[in-house]
A and B are shown apart, each in its own frame.
Chain A
Amino acid sequence: MAAQSTTSNRANADARHGWYVYGVVDGDVELQEDARGVGDPPAPVELVRSGSGDVAALVSEIGLDRPVGRPEDLYAHQVLLDAVAVDAPVLPLRFGAVVGSRDAVVSELLDENEREFVSALRELDCELQYVVRARYREDAILREVLRDNPTAASLREKVRAEPAEVAGDLQLRLGEIINIEIEARRSQDTQWLADLLSPVTMESSVRPPTNELDAAHLAVLVKTDRTADLEEILHGVAQEWSDRATVRLLGPMAPYDFVVAADEPRS
């Protein structure tokens, strides 16, 4: 195992090392030897099994004297978990979880939560997460707003007629109305999309918008054999919306949006 080469270092500087935890998988999962995680250079990823062997944690050794969080570290965390998720159910941990020692991974993380982990992993069998993001084309959505909202349309004409110094308040009001209109469309379109996808999704979860032109931002959990159906529906949406919004599908990925703390029920 690659980690053995660092054993002597570890003995000298135990307090300065920890074990970065990516996620939890079934105990029978095997990992390719070249799997790498966070750190510079990227650290080899290992599996640490619970006492019973029923579950295992994906971990890599990490120096605690150096902060993590470079873009490379963020990508490493997600790329590893997403690759694992394609082949086996995985409970992804939020970025940045570190346990003090290998023993603590077993006793404090795995053994203590084993029952919950096992049942969550069973629930997630053959399910993958995708994220759907749709974004309005600005010109198109603004035209839509002007068409549907007479107040906005007339305010726009007033603003254009006034000299810039005078138009300030009107502009603010116009912008606010447009924003309210876009928010209303976003919530309507998000609901429409979630309903449209519901025949092929096990669960869906609305994410907050990350851009003021977002039309929808949705995480969905899909059985692996329904992935093609999901893509087909979204191709249709992209076509239907081609003039007003772009549609982006991310995944497959680990079920980040559908795991909750071990002692809470899954929503």
Chain B
Amino acid sequence: MTTTVQPGAGGAALDRPAGSQLAEVVDTILDKGLVIDAFVRVSLVGIEVLTIDARVVVAGVDTYLRFAEAVGRLDLSNTGGKGLPDLLNDVQEGGAKHKVKGAARGAIEAAGESVRGFLDDSDKRPRKPSRRPERGED
């Protein structure tokens, strides 16, 4: 049984990953946690880019157009995926509408890719916690 659920795959399992994705780590340790004043702050490289990447969610025109396109592609007569006519439409449509979508998507994917590229170099991400402290009284 797989624990990874692909959208549309129809799986019902709870996704229980061993480690977090980078965006999830960013959400947690850059946004939450105790902040103590009077600390020296080290210069943080790349954080801004990562933070922006994780925040590309404020709904706006790009989101609206994407939803409108997605709902337009829905085939309400059956539950299958994209039909041939829709695929042809995608190729034939051009113009401003697509450019807007392309630009918005591009920004998100490009940011995601650069992060992923980073990781591929030395993929140390979900390491098994190997360091266990022990309570003295246990």
Contact = CB atoms under 8 A, between A and B. Distances in A.
B125 A71 contact: yes
Interface residues of B, number: 78
A118 interface: no
B64 A95 contact: no
Interface in B48-74: 50, 54-55, 57, 59, 61, 63-72, 74
Contact of B118 (A28, A71, A93, A98): A71
Interface stretch (A4-12, A187-195, A196-204, A238-246): A238-246
Interface string B1-35: 00001011011111111011011111111111111
Given A69-B46, A94-B32, A171-B68, 20 more contacts: A20-B42, A29-B136, A32-B131, A34-B130, A70-B46, A70-B118, A75-B125, A78-B28, A83-B129, A92-B34, A94-B30, A94-B35, A98-B40, A108-B38, A139-B79, A175-B65, A178-B71, A246-B15, A261-B34, A262-B36
Interface of B: 5, 7-8, 10-17, 19-20, 22-36, 38-47, 50, 54-55, 57, 59, 61, 63-72, 74, 76, 79, 93, 95-97, 115, 118-119, 122, 124-127, 129-137
Contacts of B129: 79-80, 82-83, 86
A69 B126 CA distance: 16
A176 B36 contact: no
B131 A36 contact: yes
Contacts of B38: 108
7 contacts: A32-B131, A69-B50, A96-B30, A145-B71, A156-B71, A176-B64, A246-B7
A115 interface: no
Contacts of B96: 168
Contacts of A235: 13-14
Contacts of B122: 72
A248 B7 CA distance: 12
Nearest to B65: A175
Contact of A88 (B69, B119, B133): B133
Contact of A97 (B36, B55, B65): B36
Given A95-B33, A137-B7, A178-B71, A69 B44 contact: yes
A235 B97 CA distance: 40
A203 to B, nearest CB: 13
Interface in A22-52: 23-26, 28-32, 34-36, 45
Contacts of B32: 92, 94, 219, 256-257, 259
Nearest to A179: B59
B95 A67 contact: no
B30 to A, nearest CB: 5
Nearest to A21: B39
A84 interface: yes
B124 A75 contact: yes
A190 to B, nearest CB: 15
